[in-house]
Amino acid sequence: MEVNPPKQEHLLALKVMRLTKPTLFTNIPVTCEEKDLPGDLFNQLMRDDPSTVNGAEILMLGEMLTLPQNFGNIFLGETFSSYISVHNDSNQVVKDILVKADLQTSSQRLNLSASNAAVAELKPDCCIDDVIHHEVKEIGTHILVCAVSYTTQGGEKMYFRKFFKFQVLKPLDVKTKFYNAETDEVFLEAQIQNITTSPMFMEKVSLEPSIMYNVAELNSVSQAGECLTTFGSRAYLQPMDTRQYLYCLKPKKEFAEKAGIIKGVTVIGKLDIVWKTNLGERGRLQTSQLQRMAPGYGDVRLSLEAIPDTVNLEEPFHITCKITNCSSERTMDLVLEMCNTNSIHWCGISGRQLGKLHPSSSLCLALTLLSSVQGLQSVSGLRLTDTFLKRTYEYDDIAQVCVVSSAIKVES
């Protein structure tokens, strides 16, 4: 009968601990009124409790810190830190000790060891310590693989490893919406929701635009010469709360003049989000490149450069239109027609020639009109005809103006 030899025990012991900041100690206050049976007993016990705050014993938070009792949650964008210790539990001197730490994700394997050089020897009751750090950039299952190799006094080479499996969770839910203005401006609304179980301090939420755009943040207001955030003095985001950020992107001057280029731009930029959690633990996320649906202007685009907000009833007012040939190849010969509506009447000659408009070029046109009806009126009725292709482009609901009476009667 063959007997397998007993499995040899290793001379070294490996310990791996996650490094996290402590939490504030909490207790459950128990109190009662003085006329109740216990009298002042409960209050006196809370005053004698060293974990309570002197003078504010009924608060749940105390003055002590609690060390982590479990592995805890790891969120995307945070820094994972771990303490690795190899201790010589034997009475022998061990040689050529090599400690290696790798992090296996769903897509890659990363070496986190500070040094790949072997330690010459390790005496009894001595240890080798290392601290590793890694900014978590993937969600899902992660496996920390710690491997130790060494040589005994007898020259035998030994090797063992341990696996530590943990999940990386998603801390924020980010949703974006794009609004394409009549001009080449693009407005981005970003909705950021805290889907963790603890509050966050939002240190920074910024938009890094693509090379074709400049960005302006619309998340602050000016009061008495001081710039104040629209979210108030406290930038905390409670669990499951959502905050909306707004940005305006304008094309850079060198690209704004090239209508064909801006027309097809879909990549806008990416969001950079930085936050802090309990006791200042920092996290950072960058979204992938945000993309919008490019607006379909067709071959000819008409936009407003200037228009008054309020006009007087039956009095002429002026607007300035910009006509752009969005075609990259074809020159157009345009004719402008102005069609009156029930409330808007155009002043001038309809059917006039605008001349040739070369590819990706623009012309500005000053027009005069008046309104015969009060209230909020829509500017409509412009028609552009390309005489080469015999194609007509209709432009209605270009803008809106508020029409008021020029004679205001004051009742006594």
pTM of the model: 0.66
Give the confidence band of 411 by pLDDT, cuts at 50, 70, 90: very low
Task: Please provide the average confidence, as pLDDT, over all residues in the chain.
Answer: 83
Q: For the segment 92-139, what is each residue's pLDDT rounded down to a tens digit?
A: 889 999 999 999 998 889 998 877 788 888 899 999 999 999 999 999
Task: Write the DSSP string, 71-129.
Answer: ---EETTBEEEEEEEEEE-SSS-EEEEEEEEEEE-SS-EEE--S--PPEEEE-TT-EEE
Higher pLDDT, 76 or 65: 76
| Rounded Cα gap, residues 211 and 276, in angstroms | 30
Name 381's Cβ contacts closer than 8 Å, sequence gap at least 6.
338, 339, 340, 341, 344, 346, 396
Give the burial string for 230-250 (b: 16+ CB within 10 Å, else e). ebeeebebeeeeebebbbbbb
179 neighbors 169 (Cβ within 8 angstroms): no
| Rounded Cα gap, residues 276 and 359, in angstroms | 51
Environment class of 206 (CB within 10 Å of its CB; exposed 0-12, middle 13-18, buried 19+)? middle
Higher pLDDT, 262 or 32: 32
171 neighbors 196 (Cβ within 8 angstroms): yes
